[in-house]
Chain A
Amino acid sequence: MRQVFLILLLIAPFLSQSQSRSSIGLLPSVSVTHSWADKTWRLTGQLQSMQAVWNNPGGEPLAFDYDYIRTDLTMALSYRSNPHWSFALGQMTRLSRGELVYRIFQQASFATRGQSVRWGHRFRTDQTFEPEENIITRLRYRVSAEVPLNGQDLNKGEWYLKPGIEQVVRFQNDSVGWEQRFLGAIGHYLNAGNKFEIGVDYRLDDFVEGPGRHRLWTTFSYYLNL
């Protein structure tokens, strides 16, 4: 927990910048995975909701301003080609302020284990279809680690840390955007079927030409494997 507070402290100066836009909120999610054929194939459903609790849309100091932003339902089918690599195709349906947005994605992920830390690399491309908008294409790369807090292996009933970084490049018409994400969570591995994580997801975009938009989400994630 100390690490989470440390990250919050480190990020706090960015959030207090007067010109930039900031929000702080919640990002709970539940992922349900069903695997078969000796875990070669997996079907994952994920439900996530984004809610801003404090906002400063015009660059004023952060103020309490609750805003339910969106609900995302994601379904993905993935195929594990070997113990390290898996490939997935998926689609997301987003309900945001009464409008439906659709996204499809293609993903390759690589998981490997060092002496005790497990590393996950995720390469993803996605295409978003919004009403009356041109297609948005994004290229994403995320690296995250799973660090056991007790011993070299993560066992049932133990806690772990999950730091991560993600880079997102966004294309729409002729415009290009760059977003950086820093993730930190503390997780509890209940057993092979269940684990949960609580942490922060800090996102920074519009910083190349604009004053920057800072968003800090408190994440609550539950992973269920059937």
Chain B
Amino acid sequence: MPGFFQGTGAFLRIGLSGPFLSMLIINHFYQFVVILQQKPSKLKVMKRILIICMLCLPAATVFAQEVKQELEQRIDARLAPEKARQWLKEAFPKVSKCKWYLERSGGITSYEAKFKLKGIRYSVEFNREGLIEDVEKRVRLDKMESDQRGRLYLGFAQFDKFKAIKVQEQWTASTPLRLKQAIAGNDPKLATIRYEVEFMAMIDEKYSLWEGLFTQDGKLLSRRKIVSRPTDNLDY
């Protein structure tokens, strides 16, 4: 039973809140059943259905709580900064279809362009003013050069039960022009290359989902836990 009794008061929460909540719900629903099991007329039935909808659904919002979350919204290309669209056009002249997104994370706004080129998924991020921040392209570990893959695996080895979910090669450069030249000429020497890896691993005795930024030598620069949305609507 790993973690079952973890955390202050977990036992009390299970012991008290579960049955209490159930009793509350049972009582609430019992009233529906009593109403509904009386012989109804057509008009009364409709009235009861309305009552159910009104009582069943919004009642729970009383418990609503705010959770900080990264926000990403699809936007029309015309809403992206002109400077960003121009840079993208020059660095990737062959891209005709591209989706634009507005991202807000921790009070920072950025723009992201996503597209597919020669079967590879790209994601290009710009700051609020439209200045390029980085270019990310999806890579497969099994298709990577064996030297590079080996160095990354050395970095991954620090984690127990490591499993890579998604790997993206991240290109950055000292100036927008330099990054444009690196991309256009496919010249990695002009850019700094890092790897953004979404992975599962056992960290702090918990098998969770993480996002880490690794250097080409496999050194972990940063990591953050990915908080998944609840799956209750897929499970029940």
Contact = CB atoms under 8 A, between A and B. Distances in A.
A51 interface: yes
B64 A194 contact: yes
Given A66-B40, A225-B230, A49 B60 contact: no
A107 to B, nearest CB: 7
B99 to A, nearest CB: 8
Interface residues of B, number: 61
Interface residues of A, number: 73
A30 B25 contact: yes
Interface string A68-80: 1001011110100
Contacts of A162: 233
Contacts, number: 187
A153 B2 CA distance: 31
A32 interface: yes
Contact of B72 (A74, A78, A152): A152
Nearest to B62: A224
A107 B73 contact: no
B229 A154 contact: yes
Interface string B1-33: 011111100100110011001100110110011
B36 A51 contact: yes
In the complex, the 7 A-B pairs of residues with the closest C-beta atoms, listed nearest first: A120-B234, A37-B3, A192-B67, A37-B6, A83-B209, A68-B36, A224-B60
Interface of B: 2-7, 10, 13-14, 17-18, 21-22, 25-26, 28-29, 32-33, 36-37, 40, 42, 45, 49, 52-53, 56-57, 59-61, 63-67, 69-74, 101, 114, 121, 200, 206-209, 226, 228-236
